[in-house]
Structure 1
Amino acid sequence: MEIFLMVLGGLGLFLFAVNNLSETLKELIGNKANKWLDLFTKNLLTSVITGTVATILLDSSSAVIIMTIVLVNAGALSFRQSLGIVMGANIGTTFSSQLIALDIGQYSPIPIFLGLVFSFISKNEKVSKTARVVLFFGILFFGLYTMERAVEPLKDHKQFLSWMEKLDSPLRGTLIGALVTLVIQSSSATVGMVITLAKKELINLPGAIAVMLGSELGTCSDTLMATIRSDRQAVKTGLFHLLFNIICIALGLAAFPYFNTFIEWVSNGAGMQQKIANAHMIFNIAGVVLFLPLIPFVEKLLNRFLPEKQKAAQQVESSATA
């Protein structure tokens, strides 16, 4: 029971930090983010780079994709411009995995203390918000550190180890990863928990990669919810995010044994947590590279599946006249 409560507390701190970090950074950046998105989305490649950078800055792929859907719905971005941003967001979210893989949780009280002090004593709003960003980063890593310390006794728990071994099944691990992400609404938290388990040698690479694949699917839920009562262009952006992740996951499952071997080779000598972070980054970058040639086809498919209402009406009128 104590382990469960500590893990729950650590997860709560992590989710609290992720949510507030994203909101504070959006306040700090302000409308500049919208201007940058519009300025640097002139072609597909710059859109991908913009989505990547924006996600690294906001530390949330969901926040970037939801903001993109809102801008598309408002007419500030076109559906085509949004495609690269969505794919770039998937790359940007792997940056947090690399940070989590670093064993810096024990130093998290330092940014918590500094962020708290400067947010209180500073009269400058910009400095105060920057201090809050530092504070939430500290809380984020403290939450992970709490979970890491909590799961340590599970090394000797036979039932838990037996259950973790079942994650080696790619399909089962993927479904569990999707379900966990659906519940906690954060793929970063899911991957963070997997890396935390890896630090304590409680999960192996195949199981970790399977859960990571599932987290990519689970994260689509909140972006799809953002399309409710939106226009068709915004709905197509949400559907593209879902379709992109499903295709990438399907390819990942099809090449699962080879991908595992490749990660072992690339990460030769690295710890398990670093292997998982590398797998997360390589998988998402490879997905974008492989998907880029398919963009024109997918765009036409979604345009045909969800045509503009005005065009549809014109087609009905022309057919009636004929």
Structure 2
Amino acid sequence: MDKTILTFFIGGLILFIFSISQLSKKLQDFFQEGTNQQIEKFTDKVLKSLFLGILATIILGSSSAVIIITIVLINARAISFKNSMGVILGANIGTTFTSQLIALNISEYAVYVMALGLVMMIFGGKRKLNSYGQILFYFGLLFFGLYVMEHSVLPLRESEFFTNQLAQIGDNPLRGVWVGGLTTLVIQSSSATVGIAILLGKQGLLSSAGGLAVMLGAELGTCSDTLLATINGSRAAFRAGVFHVSFNLLSITIGLLLFDQFTNLVTWVSQTQEIEKLIANGHLLFNCLGVLIILPFLGLLGKILIRLIPDKKPTT
């Protein structure tokens, strides 16, 4: 691979991951107190907690952030394990919002959003205007990073070796899951992994089937943050982490077993041949279908996990 391509691609990826991290932090600082209060208030019913998980993830821009906050609240005994399951499922749906934004082709306007945010930061002082400016700036930087990555890989369309390697992902979904999972473990962002798949699809370097396979892997790789957050936590928090992993594993297994049918369904629902939209719609459809499948068995699964991972008996 040409060093220039690699340099710009890695640079764009760094900007993308950094902006996601900073945007999540700024939004958490901005909304966290209110969000925590809402989570405590609206998790008594499954559908309410599901909707809250979706909304909180869209606001905070990170499913990992929402699930980690939920685990913290479980450890603080503000939320029960049973009520946390709906929030976790909602977070999985909410994270697809980023994919839909990436597929809208708004990256070329990112510099204008960054410029507006920078002006607000400079003249906002310590007021709320400064906070709004920082959010806008990092939002624009996120898509500017994607723009840099997208244009850095253009020359790869002429590389027979690279196109052959990516073509094999479409022919072997399991390989795509492995690539997506490993990439997410390394860069610690499922949104970035799906974003990479979308931009490679836009450049004709990755098929829709290959992009969907990478997306499945990203869903598995994102579980690492959740499990890390449960270290030294309560048994209930650990159960929540195991539930997240179990849900993703089950969904991915079904997705792989019915991969051809799933790909056809995404194509039919999307009513378009634009690969970036197919991958983004596949991400949304996969998570929504997974939630619909698991919802009727949520109570049973909760009871099984409580039996397998019981609370510690109090010492006398």
Residue 173 of structure 2 is matched in structure 1 by 170
Q: Distance in 1 between matches of 2:180 and 2:35?
A: 31
Residue 270 of structure 1 deviates from its aligned partner by 4.4
Q: Does 1:194 align with 2:193?
A: no
Q: Deviations over 1:226-247 (max 9, x none)?
A: 0000010111111110000000
Larger mean Cα displacement after TM superposition, 120-129 or 274-283: 120-129
Q: Distance in 2 between matches of 1:273 and 1:30?
A: 32
Residue 124 of structure 1 deviates from its aligned partner by 4.8
Residue 215 of structure 2 is matched in structure 1 by 212
Residue 317 of structure 1 is matched in structure 2 by none
Residue 320 of structure 1 is matched in structure 2 by none
What SS does the corresponding residue of 1:62 show, helix, strand or coil? helix
Residue 67 of structure 1 is matched in structure 2 by 69
Residue 119 of structure 1 is matched in structure 2 by 121
Larger mean Cα displacement after TM superposition, 13-22 or 266-275: 266-275
Q: Which of 271, 287, 305 is equivalent to 2:308?
A: 305
Residue 30 of structure 1 deviates from its aligned partner by 3.5
Residue 267 of structure 1 is matched in structure 2 by 270
Q: Distance in 2 between matches of 1:228 and 1:27?
A: 24
Residue 70 of structure 1 deviates from its aligned partner by 0.7
Give ranges in structure 2 of 5+ residues lacking alignment: none
| Matched letter for residue 238 of structure 2 | V
**Over alpha carbons, which structure has the higher Rg?**
1
Please give the residue correspondences for 1:27-106 in structure 2 after superposition, counting only pairs within 5 Å. Answer: 27-106=29-108
| 8 A contact 1:28–1:126 mirrored in 2 | no
Q: Distance in 1 between matches of 2:185 and 2:219?
A: 10
Q: Does 1:221 align with 2:217?
A: no
Q: Distance in 1 between matches of 2:241 and 2:131?
A: 31
What SS does the corresponding residue of 2:179 show, helix, strand or coil? helix
Please give the residue correspondences for 1:119-158 in structure 2 after superposition, counting only pairs within 5 Å. Answer: 119-158=121-160
| 8 A contact 2:272–2:278 mirrored in 1 | no
| 8 A contact 1:26–1:58 mirrored in 2 | yes
Residue 243 of structure 2 is matched in structure 1 by 240
Q: Distance in 2 between matches of 1:133 and 1:299?
A: 37
Residue 125 of structure 1 deviates from its aligned partner by 3.0
Q: Which of 287, 292, 298 is equivalent to 1:284?
A: 287
Q: Distance in 2 between matches of 1:302 and 1:130?
A: 42
Give ranges in structure 1 of 5+ residues lacking alignment: 315-322
| 8 A contact 2:50–2:87 mirrored in 1 | yes
Residue 81 of structure 1 deviates from its aligned partner by 1.2
What SS does the corresponding residue of 1:269 show, helix, strand or coil? coil
Please give the residue correspondences for 1:11-22 in structure 2 after superposition, counting only pairs within 5 Å. Answer: 11-22=13-24
| 8 A contact 1:54–1:89 mirrored in 2 | yes
Identity between Structure 1 and Structure 2 (%): 46
Q: Distance in 2 between matches of 1:142 and 1:210?
A: 25
Q: Distance in 2 between matches of 1:76 and 1:40?
A: 12
- Normalization by structure 1: what TM-score? 0.95
| Matched letter for residue 194 of structure 2 | V
Q: Distance in 2 between matches of 1:110 and 1:96?
A: 19
Q: Distance in 2 between matches of 1:30 and 1:246?
A: 29
| Matched letter for residue 296 of structure 2 | P
Q: Does 1:256 align with 2:262?
A: no
Q: Distance in 1 between matches of 2:127 and 2:82?
A: 37
What SS does the corresponding residue of 2:156 show, helix, strand or coil? helix
| Matched letter for residue 103 of structure 1 | N
Q: Distance in 2 between matches of 1:294 and 1:214?
A: 24
What SS does the corresponding residue of 1:31 show, helix, strand or coil? helix
Q: Deviations over 1:10-67 (max 9, x none)?
A: 0000000000000000111131110011112120011110000000001100010011
Q: Distance in 2 between matches of 1:123 and 1:197?
A: 40
| 8 A contact 1:28–1:130 mirrored in 2 | no
